[in-house]
Structure 1
Amino acid sequence: MSKHDVAVAGVGMHAWGKWGRPFVEYGVAAARDALKDSGIDWNDVDFIVGGETVRNGYGGYVAGATFASALGWNGARVATSYAACATGAQALDTARTRILAGLSEVALVVGADTTPKGFLKPNAGERWDDPDWLRFRLMGMTNPAYFALNARRRIDLYGATQEDFAAVKVKNAKHGLSNPNARYRKEFSVADVMASPVVADPLHLMDICATSDGGAAVVLTSVEYAQRHGLTGPRINAISTVTPTFPQTQLDMPYFSSESTAAAPAPQYTHKEALARAAYEEAGISPEDVDVAEVYDLSTALELDWIEDLGLVERGTAEQLVRTGDTSVGGRLPVNPSGGLACFGEAVPAQALAQVCELTWQLRGQAEGRQVEGARVGITANQGLFGHGSSVILSA
């Protein structure tokens, strides 16, 4: 056991979809499922952390108190976290920190979202110092265009093909068939993906995740509390939220050097690589110890990037793993057995928590129809805006 460990006592989700209901309903449903799963009474929760949602009014900005009120005031301490798509993991880290400090024994972490139709874009208003607002307003660059640049880079650097990207969708769609919380439960072929409209070349519509409504929740306790109460289950061994390190300030771009740039600083890890390395170091393990991964597949090409960013394979070889079936359930290194965002879509404050839910079920042996046999160690990864990102490691 590591000094950083906390126990995952319970997990719960509200199924993803496009329900059009208040986000609080999804969060409360997920929280109640997580509490039921843990066997812990709501009144024994002494800390609640809500993942902030920026699209749902003032209640979304103070999500921790919103969920605490909806569940029934019980006197617990409260916090709200926001880190865009890494929100759920940052909220988990807030809870973990208080538990490790000895200030809390039982924490409930909840994230939920109700999203508008279409691709996500910055909120209204002029924000000339906000790069996210600028890229959308001045260049018309919604997220799919950004995803397409990453995909084009894989094609140019490593010889990836559009068929490789489509194969990721085919794999994730097959995984999602047995996931009752998934929004999309339908098989696809490579031909189906390639026949869908091109949104941002080289990505087709079926290469890109949707925006969704949904919720997820996790109950964390101290290891000592779990032992006293006979709670068995996975432990969180590490949560990484590191920022980039100068001079490697490009969040995604690998650092290249050549004879013409001999005076350049020594190569540095990319931000995403650094997230994973910090998690491995904190957990005291290496990529070779990982049995299953839940990664941030906003697009099919980004899943391939993340497999390499996590150090699970050599740079430029992820396509080969997909081609040989190694990233499928039953393969050497299953990735996104939940079905990933390909089957869920984005419910921003909930998605990093949903990854932890899936790994918990996998490590308990409860992922019926998509179980990774013998899974003992799992890792998650996702990226929020700017320097925000996260990687969580769990072990059985």
Structure 2
Amino acid sequence: MTGDVAVLGAGMHQWGKWGRSFVEYGRVAAKAALADAGLDWRDIGSVVGAETVRGGYPGYVAGSTFAQALGWQGARVTSVYAACASGAQAVNAARAQILAGLADVVLVVGADAAPKGFFAPAGGERPDDPDWLRFRVLGATNPVYFGLYARRRMALYGDTAEDFALVKVKNAAAGALNPLARYRAPVTAEQVAASAVVADPLRLLDICATSDGAAALVLSSMDFAGRHGAADPVRIRAVSTVTPAFPREVLDLPDIATDSAVAVEPAPETFRASIARAAYEEAGLGPQDLSLAEVYDLSTALELEWYEDIGLCAPGEGAKLVREGVTALGGRVPVNPSGGLASFGEAVPAQAIAQVCELTWQLRGTAGERQVPGARAGITANQGLFGHGSAVIAVR
């Protein structure tokens, strides 16, 4: 298809709390992706950096920062910020440059050195920003609205805390097989239940940590891939970066400062579902074609929402999938075979890129003990605050 671009290389810096600069993590991931692609840094025509506002000025100009860290060589640079969707927006910018003929091969890099504890707004006072308002006016940290989502599922669908715990158990089992994950120990449902309550009904082990980490991709045109011996590379077939559609769509819970949130009937399709639908339409595929998925499990309950939003089941049936093992390794459609945020923690601008790295390794058949047999197509999905959609479909 004319919209395909090749994934020639994928690389990551292990997630953790290392106490070093995000630039160092990004350089490590970039070099790993270049080595995986069999290319030299001087072969790169463009660098797209996913921004991290917590990194100060170097974070705001991430594309140039990473290019400088690797050594100026004349590549064009682009810096992209879209909250949790930053990595997918960076992939989208790189893909657009390749399809437009502006560059044959592009390096995409995202990295973060996250603070310990809850994320808080960075960059000063912003009373016109709903994210800032919920922290400063309501004192609502991220786990507060994770808990609201969880309570909503319990009220609407009868989900239980035990269902949520099964998601952590599943993802921890996969993460134990991933050498790049921060947490590599299996977890039992009893351990989840015994962990401290953070935002009722969610406990500490239901919620992802904040982490340092980095991920990078080398993307190219299909012609470039063919000339460099990659006859059958993993291909990115679709990137969805849509915004909500009003009034069909009501902004989700994180945008709690929106006056119109209670003025219209609930939407027939959530914003997250519209993100996935746009990706499927562009790729010419559907949920039935998926071999696996990587979704943004900020909390265990939110992963169940994603099952429904990417079309693996009908609304309210997410817990049934996890109970039956459908989304576990060995199941019909493994979700988060990487271990997900449950095993990595959240390194915001790197995460959506890391999801594509996992798809790449799975579709190549090189994911080791966590390999999904015969993987041919996968989707990534997450949502950035303030209407940033994010989904990538990759195929082999």
Interval containing the TM-score (normalised by the shorter chain): over 0.9
Structure 2 letter corresponding to 1:80:
S
Give the Cα–Cα distance (whole angstroms) in 1 for the partners of residues 312 and 386 of structure 2.
24
Q: Is 1:168–2:167 an aligned residue pair?
A: yes
TM-score calculated relative to the size of structure 1: 0.96
Kept in 2: contact 1:247–1:265 (CA 8 A): no
Shift in Å, 1:88: 0.4
Q: How does 1:58-73 map to 2 (within 5 A)?
A: 58-73=57-72
In the TM superposition, structure 1's runs of 4+ consecutive aligned residues that sit over 6 Å from their partners are none
Q: Which residue of 1 aligns with 2:250?
A: 250
**Secondary structure of residue in 2 paired with 1:14:** strand
For 1:259, the equivalent position in structure 2 comes to: none
The alpha-carbon deviation at position 314 of structure 1 amounts to: 1.1
Which stretch has the larger CA shift, 11-20 or 311-320?
Answer: 311-320
1:271 positional shift: 1.1
- Percent identity over the alignment is 66
For 2:271, the equivalent position in structure 1 comes to 271
Instruction: Report the equivalent of 1:238.
Output: 238
Distance in 1 separating the partners of 2:322 and 2:269: 24
Measured after TM superposition, the shift of residue 3 of structure 1 is: 1.6
Q: TM-score, normalised by structure 2?
A: 0.96
Indicate the residue corresponding to 1:336 in structure 2: 336
CA-CA distance at 1:267 after TM superposition: 5.2
Residue of structure 2 equivalent to 1:179 = 178
2:341 is aligned with 1:322? no
CA contact (8 A) 1:248 1:270 kept: no
Partner of residue 381, structure 2: 381
- Post-superposition offset of 1:266: 10
Q: CA deviation at 1:188?
A: 0.9
Report if the CA contact (8 A) 2:45-2:76 is conserved.
yes
Q: CA deviation at 1:127?
A: 1.3
Distance in 2 of aligned mates of 1:215 and 1:239:
20
Superposed CA offset, 1:74-111 (max 9, x none): 10000000000000000000000010001110000000
In the aligned structure 2, how far is the partner of 1:117 from the partner of 1:47?
A: 33
Inter-partner Cα distance in structure 2 for 1:358 and 1:171: 17
1:136-175 superposed matches below 5 A? 136-175=135-174
Pair 1:12-2:11 in alignment: yes
Q: Which runs of 5+ in 2 are unaligned?
A: 254-263
Is contact 1:209–1:299 with CA below 8 Å preserved after alignment?
yes
Q: How far apart, in 2, do the equivalents of 1:19 and 1:394 lie?
A: 31
Shift, 1:123, TM fit: 1.7
Aligned to 1:123: 122
Name the SS of the counterpart of 1:85 in structure 2. Answer: helix
Which amino acid letter does the alignment assign opposite residue 362 of structure 1? Q
In 1, Cα distance between the equivalents of 2:198 and 2:234?
Answer: 40
1:109 pairs with 2:97? no
Pairwise CA distance, 1:4: 1.0
Counterpart of 1:260 in structure 2 is none
Structure 1 residues 126 and 70 mapped into 2: Cα distance closer, same or farther (>3 Å)? same
| CA distance, structure 1, for counterparts of residue 122 and residue 25 of structure 2 | 22
TM-superposition CA deviations, 1:146-194 (whole Å, max 9, x none) = 1000000110111100000000000000000110110001111111001
| Counterpart contact for 1:328–1:334, Cα < 8 Å | yes
Describe the shift of the 1:251–1:370 C-alpha distance in structure 2 as closer, same or farther (beyond 3 A): farther
What is the alpha-carbon distance in structure 2 between the residues aligned to residue 83 and residue 124 of structure 1? 15
Distance 1:358 1:144 in 2: 26
Amino acid at match of 2:193: M
Question: SS at 1:335's partner residue?
Answer: coil
Change (3 A) 1:25 1:191: same
Contact 2:53/2:123 (CA < 8 Å) preserved in 1? Answer: no
For the Cα contact (< 8 Å) 2:249–2:269, is it kept in 1? no
Aligned to 1:291: 291
Q: Is contact 1:248-1:271 (8 Å) kept?
A: no
Structure 1 unaligned runs (5+)? 254-263
